[in-house]
Amino acid sequence: MRAIILHGSPRRGGNSDTLAEHFIDGLKTTGDVEVFDFILNDMNIRPCQGCESCATSEGHRCVIDDDMHQIYNAFADADAIVWATPMYWGYMTAQMKIALDRMEALAMDVQRYWIDKEFVAILTYRHHYQSTIAFFERVQSYFKFKFSSILYCSKNEFGSEDFHVSTCPDKLEEAKNLGRAMGLRATR
């Protein structure tokens, strides 16, 4: 089993990172897992320039020469892609959206990159996650990936600070259980 984790939060060890970690722990209970962590905030990934050369170039290669190619290389052979991101101003973070836009180069070859992969959206939020879930649900029928999600509301009703997910054992268990269930499915 190969899993990619796209870390969309600039906060290392925050809610989405922690849930991704528990998901992977669950996955690992069912067999060997090779994990590729991509900390998007620390990577040099330029926004898509809309040049559309990926539509016509050999192998649909993106002409921008930056760290996104590390993700492209890992993507083809991955069984599971984890999209772990908080909600910022009503959508996934800019770090995640920039990487997602650059996936345009992979969208040209649905068979190779998307079909039957396990996609897991880990969304952490205070008020709203629906726009990002709606995105994955909308494209799922075209790309034919399997889709699951873990949602965590970090809002503290009584103060301005968030509750870290580590104070919510049920949520951590949910993430671990999803990983375990996915691993079991893969070994069948």
Ligand X SMILES: Cc1cc2nc3c(=O)[nH]c(=O)nc-3n(C[C@H](O)[C@H](O)[C@H](O)COP(=O)(O)O)c2cc1C
| Minimum distance, C-beta of residue 136 to ligand X, in the bound complex (Å) | 17
Q: Which is nearer to ligand X, 21 or 118 (CB)?
A: 21
Report helix, strand or coil for 109: coil
Alpha helix segments (H runs only) across 14-129: 15-28, 53-56, 68-75, 94-102, 104-107, 110-113
Smallest Cα–Cα separation from 143: which of 86, 100, 181? 100
Residues 110-139 that bind ligand X (CB under 6 A): 124-128
* The one among 3, 16, 119, 145 contacting ligand X by CB under 6 A: 16
Report helix, strand or coil for 139: helix
Rounded-to-integer distance, Cα 2 and Cα 77, Å? 7
Binding of residue 9 to ligand X (CB under 6 A): yes
| Minimum distance, C-beta of residue 123 to ligand X, in the bound complex (Å) | 8
Binding of residue 162 to ligand X (CB under 6 A): yes
Bridge partners, 83 (sequence order): 6, 121
What's at 169, amino acid-wise? Answer: P
With CB under 6 A as the contact rule, which of the stretches 81-89, 101-109, 137-145, 175-183 interacts with ligand X? 81-89
Q: Which two tokens stand for residue 139?
A: 């494209």
The contact pattern for ligand X, residues 141-160, with x = CB under 6 A and - = no contact, is -------------x------
* The one among 86, 92, 99, 178 contacting ligand X by CB under 6 A: 86
| Chain residues that interact with ligand X, rule: CB under 6 A | 9, 11, 14-16, 86-90, 124-128, 154, 162
